[in-house]
A and B are shown apart, each in its own frame.
Chain A
């Protein structure tokens, strides 16, 4: 095994474990912390794919900004441990688990029986694909229009946030 595949397995194992812990922990803060760990693992996975820019942005935006706000809000509301909503097994739960299991087997069956090797990627495989220069160049040439649309999207989100957050009408 190369160093990269070892890293891949370690990072994905930690990512999956932390993702599970996010869902199962009772305390919201602890859940949020595992989510941050998960984001770091994802960033590491991006790095193994030579996508440095995405990796760092993952940390800056998700771990550094969004999750800080998450933790901030949890702390501000002083959320305690989550209480159990219902005790024991309800029939809904049984049905839900049954359906989910059925869907999973179906999916596994389909993928196992008709697995087709993915077509060779048509995207150029250079190591520079994840660099800031490459992404910047793409963003401001071929993808300029979506880039501008994104700015409109963010502007609208700001307007919306202000509409909802203004104290009094």
Chain B
């Protein structure tokens, strides 16, 4: 292969962000006391990446000797990841300062995690999928344990690392078997040889192992065990980043690998994924009711949301794909927003993390309470917020794919979920309490949550723009 310059241009978002990350390392190694510069350069790099990705929403083309798909889905996901990273940047700064641990490496790791996610979303080869997952996961292992002096942060980092390493093992075994039976790691080649190998036991086992690995990454039942503990122990902005960006990346792989390469055959694989989806919706929502810690509650809620999105994947039709893509961007704003407010509320030493601490927030901090209410309504799937249309599209896709039972489970569990989302709203508005916010929230963090809330409204009121964009990829 020759490195054609056109490959470099069509992959410019990825290369820009990688260069940004390398630049940040250089800045950090020379001016290690100034995190402001790291922060600023990082934001600018992310923004430029996002803008470049917007210009590359063209049909996909194969680059780097068939290793990468530039444009199309990849660019759409890049925009999601970049938005997640920028919002996380904005939320993190004041949070880290409050916790007395504002280090430049944090931003570097977030940038490189984003690079890993972009690789996953644009991959056209299982090797790239693997490398992207590892790049993202290694950054996240470190970010979860970033508060090295806190026991809980360490614990969750170790847990995530050990289980994540297991998941990687599953993924590699799966890739090895798929490679052994289909003779290639290239997704295009695998898709071409799919009709001949799809009945091969070894191939099926390989695909099943890969499903295990990706289900772990999206925290779907029964591979969800790590999520509550890790989400609780990680620094709150990192939790938000993991719950949105990392999850979106894993779903990108689900869409790219399973739906497009292995999916449309209507095999047993769809049924397996549908069962995983149903289990995630039921278990996540039911267990979330029992939680008293906000971060744990949101963790179970994110398991449930993984279930909703997996129903779109299981449907394995174009509606399902675009439904998942729409859901992901709505979920990004509502979940990052919710975690952003949790981060704003959180005091040192893990104070203010109980649900009861939110009682009476509306009288103390009316704006925060209102924004939180918006996020909760959206997560519950109440119209006219973005979350509603996300659910609508994925359930519609499930019905079209003759999986009505899955849609029924989804709607019923959504009703269950309304209980715990609205409980928080009730606490904030109708209970007296002395919710005390540690200090005035920083400007950057407020911008982040306000923008998130506005975009959720926007997505809920005018979903057609994004839906049309998403459908144009087919």
Direct contact of A and B (CB under 8 A): yes
Q: Of A110, A119, A155, which contacts B196 at CB under 8 A?
A: A119
Pick the contact of A159 from B105, B180, B184 — CB < 8 Å?
Answer: B105
Q: Check B127–A146 contact: CB distance below 8 A.
A: yes
Q: B148: which A residues are within 8 A, CB to CB?
A: 164, 169
With A118-B202, A159-B25, A160-B141 as given contacts, are A152 and B18 in contact (CB-CB < 8 Å)?
A: yes
Per-residue contact bits, chain B 115-152, to A (CB 8 Å; 1 contact, 0 not): 10001000001011001101100110110011011000
Q: Smallest distance from the beta carbon of B142 to chain A beta carbons, Å?
A: 4
B142 x A119 contact (CB < 8 A): no
B127 touches A159 (CB 8 A): no
B101 at the interface (CB under 8 A from A): yes
Q: Which residues of A contact B181 (CB under 8 A)?
A: 118-119
CB–CB B108/A159 < 8 A: yes
Within 8 A of A (CB), among B50-94: 64-65, 67-68
CB of A51 to closest CB in B, whole Å: 14
B135–A152 touching, CB < 8 Å: yes
Nearest B-chain residue to A110, judged by Cβ: B201
B7 to chain A, nearest CB (A): 9
Does B18 contact A160, Cβ atoms closer than 8 Å? Answer: no
Complex interface: stretch among A38-46, A89-97, A137-145? A137-145
Complex contacts, B439 vs chain A, CB 8 Å: none
Inter-chain contacts of A114 with B (CB < 8 A)? 201
Q: Does A156 contact B (CB under 8 A)?
A: yes
Q: Does A116 contact B (CB under 8 A)?
A: yes
- The answer to the question of B103 belonging to the interface, with a C-beta cut-off of 8 Å to chain A, is yes
Contact with A along B391-427 (1 / 0, CB 8 A): 0000000000000000000000000000000000000
A114 to B202, CA, bound (A): 10
The answer to whether B465 has its CB under 8 Å from any CB of chain A is no
Residues of the A chain whose Cβ atoms lie less than 8 Å from the Cβ of B67: 143, 145-146
Query: Within the complex, what minimum Cβ distance (angstroms) separates A153 from chain B?
Result: 5
A114 to B201, CA, bound (A): 7
Complex contact A145–B68 (CB within 8 A): yes
Give residues of chain A (108-140) contacting chain B, Cβ–Cβ below 8 Å. Answer: 110-111, 114-116, 118-119, 121-123
Best-surrounded residue of A110, A155, A156, A157 (most CB of chain B within 10 A):
A156
B86-115 interface with A by 8 A CB criterion = 100-101, 103, 105, 108-109, 112, 115
User: Which residue of chain B has the shortest Cβ distance to A143 in the bound complex?
Assistant: B127
Is B222 among interface residues, defined by CB-CB distance under 8 A? Answer: no
Binary flags per residue of B1-16, CB closer than 8 Å to A gives 1, else 0: 1010000000000000
Distance of B87 from chain A, by nearest CB (Å): 21
Q: Any chain B CB within 8 A of the CB of A149?
A: yes
In whole Å, how far is A143's beta carbon from the nearest beta carbon of chain B? 7
Query: Contact at A157–B201, with CB atoms within 8 Å?
Result: no
Per the CB 8 Å criterion, the residue count for chain B at the interface is 44
User: Quick check: A156 and B202 within 8 Å, CB to CB?
Assistant: no
**Within the assembled complex, what's the spacing in Å between the Cα atoms of A20 and B87?**
49
- Nearest neighbor of A160 in chain B, beta-carbon distance: B142
Q: B101 contacts which chain A residues (CB < 8 A)?
A: 169
A120 nearest in chain B by CB position: B183
Which residue on A lies nearest to B14, using beta carbons?
A149
Please indicate the chain B residues that have their CB under 8 angstroms from the CB of A121 in the complex. 183
Partner of A157, one of B25, B138, B145: B138
A160 lies within 8 A of B127 (CB): no
Inter-chain CA distance A163–B181, complex, in Å, is: 41
Check: B199 CB closer than 8 A to any chain A CB.
yes
Complex: how many Å from CA A162 to CA B51?
32
Other-chain contact of A118, B127, B141, B180 (Cβ < 8 Å): B180
Cα distance A29–B162 when bound, in Å? Answer: 21
Of the candidates B1, B108, B180, the one whose C-beta lies within 8 Å of that of A141 is B1
A149-B201 contact given A156-B109, A160-B109, A164-B148, CB 8 Å threshold? no
The complex places the Cα of A115 from the Cα of B139 at a distance, in Å, of: 41
Say if the beta carbon of B197 comes within 8 Å of chain A.
yes
Contact A145 B128 (CB under 8 A): yes
**B147-188 CB contact bits vs A (8 Å, 1 = yes)?**
011000000000000000000000000000000110110000
Whether the Cβ atoms of B201 and A152 lie closer than 8 Å is: no
Task: Find out whether the CB atom of B197 lies under 8 angstroms from the CB atom of A119.
Answer: yes
B113 and chain A: residue at smallest CB distance: A156
Is the CB of A150 closer than 8 A to any CB of chain B?
Answer: yes
B138 x A160 contact (CB < 8 A)? yes
A153 touching B183 in the complex, CB below 8 Å, given contacts A110-B201, A145-B68: no
B442 within 8 A of A: no
Task: Indicate whether A153 sits within 8 Å of B135 (C-beta atoms), given known contacts A159-B108, A160-B141, A163-B105.
Answer: yes
Q: Return the 10 tightest CB-CB contacts between A and B, nearest first.
A: A122-B183, A160-B142, A145-B64, A145-B67, A163-B105, A149-B131, A156-B112, A146-B127, A114-B201, A153-B135
List 4 extra interface pairs beyond A114-B201, A145-B64, A164-B148, CB under 8 A: A145-B68, A145-B128, A160-B139, A160-B142
- 13 examples of A-B residue contacts, CB within 8 angstroms: A111-B201, A118-B202, A142-B65, A149-B132, A150-B131, A152-B18, A156-B135, A156-B139, A159-B109, A159-B142, A160-B138, A160-B142, A163-B142
Binding site for B on A (CB under 8 A): 110-111, 114-116, 118-119, 121-123, 141-146, 149-150, 152-153, 155-157, 159-160, 162-164, 169
